[in-house]
Structure 1
Amino acid sequence: MRPDAATFVFYGEPVLKVEALAALSAPVCGIYGAEDPQPTTNRAAAARFQSALAEAGVEHDVTCYEGVGHAFWKDMGQIERRETPQIAAWRQSTTFLRTFFDG
C-alpha cells in the first residue's frame, strides 16, 4: 500500500544518518540553492543528502540550483513571471507530487 505522504525538503539541514533515512516508506524531493551561505543547506549539503538517500535505498529527486542562494523561491509571482530557476523548481516539485500521488 502506498503511504499517504512523501517528504519534501526546501532548505533545512538534511538528515544524513542512513539508518534513519532507510525507515522512510516514501520518496524524498529536495530543492536547494547552490550559493546558500548556510553550510547545512548548500551544494555540499545537498550532495551529502543525495548520497545518504541513495545508500539508504530511498527513491529521491534532489536538485541544487545554480546561481541562487537560500529562499530563492519566495512567491508564486516568480512562477507567473517565469523566473529561472524558480520555474524549474516549481516544475520539479509539481511533477514530483503528481508522480507520487497519481502513481
Structure 2
Amino acid sequence: MMHNSIDLLLKQWGTLIQSCRAERESQSQFAKRLGVGRSTVSALENGSAQVAVGTYLQAMLVLGLAGSFGDWLSQQEQDQQRQRFRHPVQRLDNDF
C-alpha cells in the first residue's frame, strides 16, 4: 500500500502528462515515442505506482515538461527546508 501523498503525487504527474500528451497525439503514438506499450501509457496517466518513476520522468522529458518538473522539485525542496526550521507552537496548559 502506497503512502497517500505518494499516490496523490503520482496522480498529479499522470494528469499533467495526460493533458499535455492529449493535445498532441494518441496514447499509441506517445507509447511508441516513449518506447513502452499503450497499456503502460494508460497506467502512467492514471498515476499507477506500478509504472517505474523513470518512465514518468522520461514521459515528462518527451513532452518538454522537464523544466516544469525541475521547478516543481526545487519548490518542494524549499518547502521542506522551511518546515525543518519551523518550531512547533508550544501551548500552555492552563488546567491547574
> What TM-score does the superposition give when structure 1 sets the normalisation length?
0.29
Structure (1/2) with the larger strand percentage = 1
Say which one has the larger Rg: 2
Structure (1/2) with the larger helix percentage = 2
